[in-house]
C-alpha cells in the first residue's frame, strides 16, 4: 500500500524494489499489471521496444473501464487505437500530456473527445530547489566516489 493509501503496481523491464509499490518485471508480467490496474500511467522511456507499445492489443489487456495517463512520449501510443478503445468503453478516460505531433493540430479529435483530458506538456517541470539538491548530491557523490548517479545509458536508450 502506498503512502496515499492506494494499492500501487509498477512494471519495468528489470527488477525494482520501491517502497509502497508492488513491483513487476519482465514482458510476461505486464499483462497481469494491465488486467488489475484502474489507472495505467505511462512513464516509460521511448525506445524501439516501447514505440507504438500502447496499441489495440495493449489497451485490450487493460481492465475494462480503466483510465490511461501518458506523461512520457507521444510515440508510445497508437492514437487511433486509443480513440477506438475510448469509443468502445474499454477505457473510461485518457489524460494526455504528449502527442505524436506537437503542437497538437487544431483538428485533432483529442480536443473534442469527451473521454480525453489534455494537459499542456507539463508532466515534469523542474523545481529549482529540488533540482539544485539533486545536482549538489550528484556532485558530492562524484567527488567522493568518482561515480555519477542517474546517468543516461546510451545502449538502453535512456
Nearest to 94 by CA among 103, 107, 104, 85: 85
Longest Cα separation, the chain: 56
- Which is catalytic among the residues 73, 93, 113, 141? 73
Q: Is 100 a catalytic residue?
A: no
Region for residue 88 given its phi and psi (left: phi exceeds 0; alpha: psi -120 to 50; beta: otherwise): alpha
How far apart, in whole angstroms, are the C-alpha atoms of residue 123 and residue 70? Answer: 9
Q: Is 76 a catalytic residue?
A: no
How far apart, in whole angstroms, are the C-alpha atoms of residue 53 and residue 24? Answer: 17
How far apart, in whole angstroms, are the C-alpha atoms of residue 1 and residue 22? Answer: 8
Give the contacts of 122 (CB within 8 A, at least 6 positions apart). 97
In the chain, DSSP finds a helix count (H) and a strand count (E) of 4, 6
- Which is catalytic among the residues 13, 100, 113, 121? 121
Residue positions annotated with a catalytic role? 73, 121
Amino acid at each position: 500500500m502506498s503512502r496515499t493509501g492506494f494499492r500501487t503496481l509498477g512494471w519495468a523491464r528489470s527488477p525494482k524494489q520501491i517502497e509502497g509499490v508492488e513491483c513487476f518485471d519482465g514482458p510476461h508480467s505486464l499483462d497481469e499489471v494491465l488486467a488489475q490496474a484502474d489507472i495505467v500511467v505511462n512513464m516509460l522511456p521511448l525506445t524501439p521496444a516501447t514505440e507504438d507499445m500502447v496499441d489495440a492489443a495493449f489497451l485490450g489487456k487493460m481492465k475494462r473501464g480503466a483510465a490511461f495517463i501518458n506523461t512520457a512520449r507521444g510515440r508510445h501510443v497508437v492514437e487511433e487505437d486509443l480513440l477506438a478503445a475510448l469509443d468502445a468503453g474499454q477505457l473510461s478516460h485518457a489524460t494526455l500530456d504528449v502527442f505524436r505531433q506537437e503542437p497538437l493540430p487544431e483538428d485533432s479529435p483529442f480536443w473534442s473527445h469527451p473521454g480525453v483530458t489534455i494537459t499542456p506538456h507539463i508532466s515534469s517541470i523542474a523545481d529549482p530547489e529540488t533540482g539544485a539538491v539533486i545536482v549538489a548530491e550528484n556532485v558530492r557523490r562524484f567527488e567522493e566516489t568518482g561515480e555519477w548517479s542517474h546517468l543516461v545509458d546510451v545502449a538502453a536508450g535512456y
